[in-house]
Chain A
Amino acid sequence: MRPEPAFEAPWHAQLFALTVHLNEAGVFAWADWAARFGATLKTHGLARDLNGGDDYFAAWLETLEGLLADQEIAAPEDVKAMRAAWEAAYLRTEHGAPVTLKS
């Protein structure tokens, strides 16, 4: 029997690593992170029961975005613009070719 993969989706792993790395670099304390994350889970969980996969990491992502916005490290408008730049990069890149931001 193969062990279950640690992460269901690559972005879950990427997001997890990003958060752990920032904590280790001293950007925020883990206790503060856990308190914020717990609050987001609680809010998201009001409407329905969250699963431990996409739902869970969606709450995680929202928490990290909020934390980095509050700490003035990554402003929401900058994140939005960068997200759009990546989307455009994927749409203009031929299937199979490496996707890069600069055309």
Chain B
Amino acid sequence: MPHDHSDHDHPHSLLPSDPALRVKALETILTQKGLVDPAALDEIIDTYENRIGPRNGAEVVARAWSDPEFKAGLLENADPLLAELGFYGRQGEHMVVVENTDDVHNMVVCTLCSCYPWPLLGIPPGWYKSDAYRARAVREPRKVLAEFGVTLPEGCAVRVWDSTAEVRYLVLPQRPKDTDGLDASALADLVSRDSMIGCGLAGAS
């Protein structure tokens, strides 16, 4: 029902947007059917808003930089190592870690929707979910990288990984030079979210 009114004539509660009302309707119906527990919804939101974020991934990267055995295991089969750290996927997906080297730069996209390693990076940023990135990352990755301020040496190839519901990717960025004395926490500070998507470099602020 169109509701053409001005707010000062009607001092009622601010009417939520159409999609917000539809989400509320779904939630009410599912709660009434016993399929949804509102407390569990709050818990999920709190987890993703406050407790899970790129710091998880940064810790993994920092450890890989300083522990060759861990790094080898991570590149070989990441799932058990990540599970040990408590970073396992709620959707049962497999994690694949891809390493940047002098010869190859890895970049991650999901052309289907927005599959993303939630346990390691949290909720994807808006640009990762946009049509522009999803289409262009594959078509013109170097151009996209340039827009992120990343220019690669000429001989460096770009490999783009397309995430799916089953397989998610984490980029292991190159360790910045002159960071030998840093401890794990200081190293993790150098690892940005974008560097783990492959749209940035570690140590670049």
Contacts and interface: CB of A to CB of B under 8 A. Distances in A.
B125 interface: yes
A35 B21 contact: no
A49 B112 contact: no
Interface stretch (B33-41, B66-74, B75-83, B101-109): B33-41
A3 B192 CA distance: 11
A62 B165 CA distance: 19
B17 A11 contact: yes
A29 to B, nearest CB: 8
Given A13-B49, A51-B130, A86-B25, A31 B125 contact: no
Contacts of B15: 87, 90-91
A95 B14 CA distance: 7
Contacts of A68: 26, 30
Nearest to A61: B19
Given A50-B130, A73-B35, A87-B15, A13 B93 contact: no
B131 A73 contact: no
B113 A24 contact: no
B13 interface: yes
Interface string B9-49: 01111111101111111111110010111001110110011
A52 to B, nearest CB: 3
Interface residues of A, number: 65
Chain A interface SS verdict (over half)? helix
Contact of A31 (B24, B33, B166): B166
Contacts, number: 175
B91 A30 contact: yes
A5 B53 CA distance: 11
Contacts of A52: 114, 124-130, 133
Given A11-B19, A79-B22, 9 more contacts: A9-B20, A15-B23, A17-B44, A30-B91, A34-B165, A52-B126, A78-B29, A83-B21, A86-B21
Interface of A: 3-11, 13-18, 20-25, 27, 30-31, 33-35, 37-38, 41, 45, 49-54, 56-58, 61, 64-65, 68, 73-74, 78-80, 82-87, 90-97, 99, 101
Which are the 7 A-B pairs with shortest beta-carbon distances? A52-B129, A52-B126, A34-B165, A38-B112, A82-B25, A30-B91, A11-B20
Interface of B: 1, 3, 10-17, 19-30, 33, 35-37, 40-42, 44-45, 48-49, 53, 90-93, 112-115, 122-133, 135, 164-166
9 contacts: A6-B48, A6-B123, A11-B20, A14-B41, A20-B44, A23-B91, A50-B131, A53-B126, A58-B19
